[in-house]
Amino acid sequence: MSRIRASLLGLWVAAACGGPGPDTAVVVRAVDGDTVDLDTGDRVRYLMVDTPESTTEVECYGPEAAAFNADLVEGVEVELRYDEELTDSYGRLLAYVSVEGREINALLVERGFACVLYIPPNGAGRRDEFESLEATARAQARGLWGACPEIPCN
C-alpha cells in the first residue's frame, strides 16, 4: 500500500471512530486533582499540571486539590482540547479541560492547587504562561505554596 493511501486510510479510520477523543463530555467523577472520568468511558489527565496525590497516598494539599477539581467539574459538561500527544502510557487522554470557557488546568495552577508539569512535546506553546501562573501563586503563598512545608509535586 502506498504511503499516501496508508495516510488517507488512517485519517478515515480516525474520523470514523470519532477522532482522538471527545470535544465535549460530562465528567462523571474527579479521580483526583488532575484526572477525571468522562461519561464516554474515557479517563482524562490534565495537561501541564501536577496536583499532590490523594488516591494511592495522601500528600499535603492533595485532598484540597481533589475537592477543588470535583467542585468545578463533576456532573458538568466540559470542553476538551488536545495537544500533540493524545494519550499517556496509561491510556489516558491528555487534554486541556474547560468549563464555560474557563480552563481548569490553568485555574489549578493559578490558585495554588497544582504545580506545572511540562512533558514535551505537549504544552510547548504554553509553558511560559503556566510557569508565570505558578510563580505568582508561589510568590503570594496561594494554596499548597503557603500550606505545605515541603512541596509534594516538585
What are 29-61's pLDDT values in tens digits?
999 999 999 999 999 999 999 999 999 899 999
| 53 is an active site residue | yes
**Global pTM value:** 0.86
Per annotation, catalytic residue among 59, 64, 92, 103: 92
Question: Which domains occur in the chain, in start order?
Answer: 18-147 (2.40.50.90)
- Whether 92 sits among the annotated catalytic residues: the reply is yes
The set of cell numbers assigned to 31 is 479521580
Q: For residue 142, indicate whether it is catalytic.
A: no
| pLDDT tens-digit map of 89-133 | 999 999 999 999 999 999 999 999 999 999 999 999 999 999 999
Q: Are 116 and 49 in contact (CB under 8 A)?
A: yes
The candidate with the shortest Cα–Cα distance to 46, out of 144, 117, 112, 146, is 117
The active-site residue, picked from 5, 29, 43, 53, is 53
Strands (E), the chain: 24-30, 35-38, 43-46, 49-50, 77-81, 93-99, 102-103, 115-116
Number of H helices, E strands in the chain: 5, 8
**pLDDT score, position 43:** 98
